Structure 1
Amino acid sequence: MIKCTAVMVTSTPAPVLAVLSHVRELRDGHVLCELGENHEDDHAVMLDDVDDGSGGAVWARWNETGVQTALLPWCPAGPPEDRACGLFMDHGSVHSWEVIDPTTEAIRRELAKRYPDHFPEYVDDDGD
């Protein structure tokens, strides 16, 4: 499933930006929804992985009427490859491993042409 294309323009207050300065999107003045397209709930982006044993992350959730931040637990689902879902519990979309960002995919395909050993999943059977 293709990634949702919703964008939220941010005007992050300086004290918050100081704490979350590692979140590049906040510094850039926008965040992108991480859910799959056509999800039924609010848009969402992870702002910070909370490494305090709580097993969650700080997420921004937004819709046309406003924005909220919340500490949400991680989705417990994991695919056969044994990678955890990178979204929050009870997200209203497919799991993160099913969400495809077309821009990221295009970049990976270009990098695979230069560095095929690093991206074997993008190299054709005939080596192209």
Structure 2
Amino acid sequence: MNKCTAVMVTSTPAPVLAMLSHVRELRDGHVLCELGENHEDDHAVMLDDVDNGFGGAVWARWNETGVRTVLLSWCPAGPPEDRACGLFMDHGSGHGWEVIDPTPEAIRRELAKQYPDHFPEYIDDDRD
């Protein structure tokens, strides 16, 4: 399933950015929903992994009426190859390993149009 395309513009103060400096999306002034498309609950993005034995993370949850930050436990599901889900418990979409960001593939297809020698796997590809 593709990743949700919801975006939330942020105006995060500099001291908060310093605390959450490992979250690249905040420095860009926006966050992207990490859930799968067509989820039924609020959008969500992880802000900070809580490393104190809680077993969860601080997430921003938003919808058309507002935003809130919440501390949520990790999803306990583990897929093949022993990878963790990476989303919170009771998330409303597929597990993290099922959510695909289509952006890198779209970028490769566009680059292949301009630089076909660098992307020979797309030479006979008629899909756009």
Identity %: 88
Deviations 1:37-87, CA, capped at 9 Å, x for gaps: 000000000011111111111100000000000111100001122111010
| Residue equivalent to 2:114 | none
- How many residues are paired up? 113
TM-score w.r.t. length of structure 2: 0.80
Larger of the two Rg values belongs to structure: 2
Structure 2: how far apart are the matches of 1:85 and 1:92? 13
Structure 2: how far apart are the matches of 1:106 and 1:83? 25
Helix, strand or coil: the match of 1:81?
helix
Distance change >3 Å, CA 38–CA 14, structure 1 → 2? same
List gaps (5 residues or longer) in structure 2: 112-116, 122-128
Worse overlay, 15-24 or 101-110:
101-110
For residue 105 of structure 1, report the CA deviation from its aligned partner: 4.0
Structure 1: how far apart are the matches of 2:95 and 2:106? 21
Aligned-residue CA RMSD (Å): 2.0
For 1:106-121, list aligned pairs within 5 A.
Answer: 106=106
Helix, strand or coil: the match of 1:97?
helix
Letter in 1 for 2:20: L
TM-score w.r.t. length of structure 1: 0.80
